Amino acid sequence: SATSAKALCLHGALHWAITSWSGFLMMLDGPNKQLLLVAHQKGFLHSFSLLGFGSALYMGCFPKVTPERANLCFWLMAGGAWVSFVFDNNAAFINSALPLAAEKAGATADPESLNATLLKLSAMAMGVGSMLLCVGMDLALLMGKSSDKKKN
């Protein structure tokens, strides 16, 4: 679990750094600026998610999670974040997005496109990965206690 936790944090830091630089894409002529801004904001939110879950996993907040499940969660969450990064930015260049984003950004709404499908799958991957970690949490920590008697 510690290796998966560190990997989540590493990807969170790398995702943050690359997302920071992706803001300069807004200087280009052509892509939809509102969709680029959405991609930029989502990139930071995904970075926070990877960093937060990686830190919580490392600190032992999910004691019932096996190393194999932690690794699966790493692939789902980190993979989902990177797929989202690529296809959120791509949406700005093809000026096509899911309906709500398209309406707000003046883009074409195409929820059945490959780009939109991959965005939906990336969201599901991150959601499933996070829930697989959460079902292994130490519920006593929700009340400021730990079920691990050695650490109280």
Taking only the tens place, the pLDDT of each residue in 83-97 is: 999 999 999 999 999
> 10 and 57 in contact (C-beta within 8 Å)?
no
Question: How confident is the model at residue 62, as a pLDDT?
Answer: 96
CA dihedral angle for residue 24, residue 29, residue 33, residue 39, rounded to 10 degrees: -50
Q: Residue 61 — very low, low, confident or very high, per pLDDT cuts 50/70/90?
A: very high
Question: How confident is the model at residue 149, as a pLDDT?
Answer: 64
> 62 and 73 in contact (C-beta within 8 Å)?
no
- Give the chain's mean pLDDT: 95
**For the chain, percent of residues with pLDDT exceeding 90:** 91
Question: How confident is the model at residue 152, as a pLDDT?
Answer: 47
